[in-house]
């Protein structure tokens, strides 16, 4: 357990500090965030003609409400937490890499849902938008990370149920 | 199959409890923040007596009053100012760890709930206090600039350190701390026991 915690904290702090570096922000985080914005727009535009997209901004033509997808809204921090947990837990590197890849996809799918839902919520009510944006969605994204990690642990353990779990 | 039942049950309870827990916290977040605000007020006013006048509660927000005034966007001494410069700090962006932890804790099948929950709150609250301190340091750094960062005879953390601590306390700690706490406290639960058996 001590080994897990140590590796987890070291990897977490290292990746988080790396993410904060200006060159990483410029060359990785900002382009990735812009790509997410474009992907969100590509998912919305075929179904909603009242929406326009430019750069990392999504906007309703009629109401003028717009959201700009910024660093911090890109699920990168959640991915960093997941990577730290997966790297810290003993397993083969193949299993780790597959889990990181699938976890990244799961987090980003959830994040796309988050961006699109917030865009529509904001057009409806800005107070609800703020509340869900700042408090509820971050918790849901971390819940996504937790579920991915728990499923990964269960995969590693081979789905063996203990006698207690069978009774439960 | 039985393990899947535990995961499914956990998820159902999470989605049932999530909104009520966050709703209760929204109502109670003001009073909940008062001890943290009082504690951080003591730290800041003793650490930066020439810069910080007070930190006090205003609903779910904290108001950070400085020893400066402002005119045309410039800092001026308080004596020649018409009003005292202050900034609002949203305490909810760090205290939402509490409803998230509450949801995870009570959504998990356990033999005992209350004492471990209280222990969890006791562990999370100091993190909220530290997060609030980092939020205030960041407000002072951004709004007062070099006046804050270069105070003679006072240790002020490096601007990059304040920036990283702020990001860490806002973006990671409020969701990660409850998640780690939940994993640790629930390691003997039916949901996690078999999954963690390998370790």
Query: What average pLDDT does the segment B129-143 reach?
Result: 96
Check CB contact under 8 Å for B175 and A90: no
How many Cβ pairs within 8 Å bridge chains A and B?
103
pLDDT over 60 at A121, yes or no: yes
Distance CA B94, CA B96 (A): 6
- pLDDT tens per residue, range A60-117: 888 888 988 887 788 999 999 999 999 999 999 999 999 999 999 999 999 999 999 9
Tens of pLDDT along A86-96? 999 999 999 99
Chain B positions touching A81 (Cβ under 8 A) are 172, 176, 179
Identify residues of A whose CB sits under 8 angstroms from chain B CBs: 1, 4, 12, 16-17, 20, 72, 77-78, 80-81, 89-90, 131, 134-136, 138-143, 145-147, 150-151, 153-154, 156-157, 159-162, 164-166, 168
How distant, in Å, are the alpha carbons of A3, A105, A146, B42, B179 from that of B100? 27, 23, 12, 28, 8
pLDDT score at A167: 38
* pLDDT of A166 higher than 70: no
Give the pLDDT confidence score for residue A165 in this predicted structure: 39
A158 sits in the region (left: phi over 0; alpha: psi -120 to 50; else beta) called: left
Interface residues of chain B, partner chain A, Cβ below 8 Å: 2-3, 6-7, 11, 14, 18, 22, 26, 90, 92-93, 96, 99-100, 103-104, 109, 163-164, 167-168, 171-172, 174-176, 178-179, 182-183, 190-199
Kindly state the average pLDDT of the residues B72-90: 86
Q: Do B3 and A147 touch (CB under 8 A)?
A: no
Q: What is the mean pLDDT of residues B77-101?
A: 91
Tell me the mean pLDDT in the region B91-100: 96
Residue A164's pLDDT band, with cuts at 50, 70 and 90, is: very low
CB A150 to CB B11 under 8 A?
Answer: no
Which of A36-50, A91-105, B23-37, B40-54 is the least confident region?
A36-50
CB contact under 8 A, A154 and B3: yes
pLDDT of residue B197: 67
Average pLDDT for chain B: 91
Q: Which pLDDT score is estimated for B2? A: 53
* pLDDT score for B80: 81
How many angstroms separate the CA of residue A49 from the nearest CA in chain B?
Answer: 32
Q: E strands, chain A, where?
A: 51-54, 57-60, 66-68
pLDDT at A1 over 80: no
Q: Nearest CA of chain A to the CA of B106: how many Å?
A: 14
Using one digit for the tens of pLDDT, what is the confidence trace for B168-194? 899 889 999 999 999 999 988 888 887
The interface predicted TM-score of the complex, written ipTM, equals 0.88
A126-156 pLDDT, tens digit per residue, is 999 999 999 999 999 999 999 999 999 988 8
pLDDT value of residue A82? 96
CA distance A61 to chain B (A): 31
Mean pLDDT of A7-12: 94
pLDDT score recorded for residue A117 = 94
Q: Enter the pTM of the model.
A: 0.89
Chain B contacts of A151, Cβ < 8 Å?
7
Residue A30 banded pLDDT, cuts 50, 70, 90: confident
Task: Give the distance from residue B12's alpha carbon to the nearest chain A alpha carbon, in angstroms.
Answer: 13
- With CA atoms as reference, the chain B residue closest to A154 would be B195
A11 φ, ψ (degrees, to nearest 5): -65, -40
Dig out the tokens for B21 from the structure: 């827990």
Q: How far is A139 from chain B (nearest CA, A)?
A: 6
Residue among B109, B175, B196 minimizing CB distance to A142: B175
Length of chain A: 168
Distance, in angstroms, between B159 CA and closest chain A CA? 13
Tokens coding B87: 């900034």
| DSSP codes of every residue in A85-106 | HHHHS---HHHHHHHHHHHHHH
What is the structure's pLDDT at A162? 42
Q: pLDDT-based confidence at A168, cuts 50/70/90? A: very low
B81/B98 Cα distance (integer angstroms): 40
> Taking CB atoms and an 8 Å cutoff, what residues of chain A touch B18?
136, 139-140
Cβ–Cβ below 8 Å for B194 and A157: yes
């Amino acid at each position: 357990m001590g080994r897990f915690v140590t590796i987890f904290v070291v990897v977490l702090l290292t990746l988080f500090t790396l993410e904060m570096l200006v060159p990483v922000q410029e060359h990785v985080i900002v382009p990735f965030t812009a790509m997410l914005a474009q992907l969100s727009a590509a998912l919305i535009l075929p179904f909603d003609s009242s929406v326009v997209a430019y750069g990392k901004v999504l906007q309703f033509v009629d109401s003028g409400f717009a959201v700009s997808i910024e660093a911090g809204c890109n699920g990168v921090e959640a991915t960093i937490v997941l990577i730290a947990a997966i790297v810290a837990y003993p397993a083969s590197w193949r299993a780790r890499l597959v889990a990181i890849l699938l976890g990244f996809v799961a987090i980003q799918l959830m994040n796309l849902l988050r961006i699109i839902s917030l865009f529509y919520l904001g057009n409806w009510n800005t107070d609800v938008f703020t509340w869900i944006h700042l408090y509820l969605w971050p918790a849901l994204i971390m819940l996504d990370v937790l579920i991915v990690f728990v499923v990964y642990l269960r995969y590693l353990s081979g789905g063996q149920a203990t006698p207690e779990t069978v009774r439960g | 199959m039985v393990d899947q039942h535990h995961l499914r049950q956990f998820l159902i309870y999470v989605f049932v409890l999530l909104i009520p827990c966050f709703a209760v916290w929204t109502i109670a977040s003001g009073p909940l923040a008062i001890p943290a605000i009082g504690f951080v007020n003591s730290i800041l006013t003793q650490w930066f007596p020439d810069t910080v006048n007070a930190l006090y509660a205003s609903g779910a927000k904290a108001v950070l009053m400085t020893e400066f005034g402002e005119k045309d966007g410039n800092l001026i001494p308080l004596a020649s100012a018409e009003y005292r410069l202050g900034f609002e700090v949203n305490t909810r962006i760090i205290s939402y760890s509490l409803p998230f932890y509450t949801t995870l804790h009570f959504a998990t099948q356990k033999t005992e709930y209350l004492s471990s929950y209280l222990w969890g709150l006791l562990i999370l609250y100091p993190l909220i206090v530290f997060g609030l301190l980092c939020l205030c340091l960041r407000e002072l750094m951004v709004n007062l600039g070099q006046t804050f960062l270069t105070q003679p005879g006072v240790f002020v953390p490096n601007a990059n350190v304040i920036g990283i601590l702020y990001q860490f306390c806002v973006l990671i700690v409020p969701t990660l701390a409850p998640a780690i706490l939940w994993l640790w406290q629930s390691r003997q639960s039916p949901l996690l026991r078999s999954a963690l058996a390998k370790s």
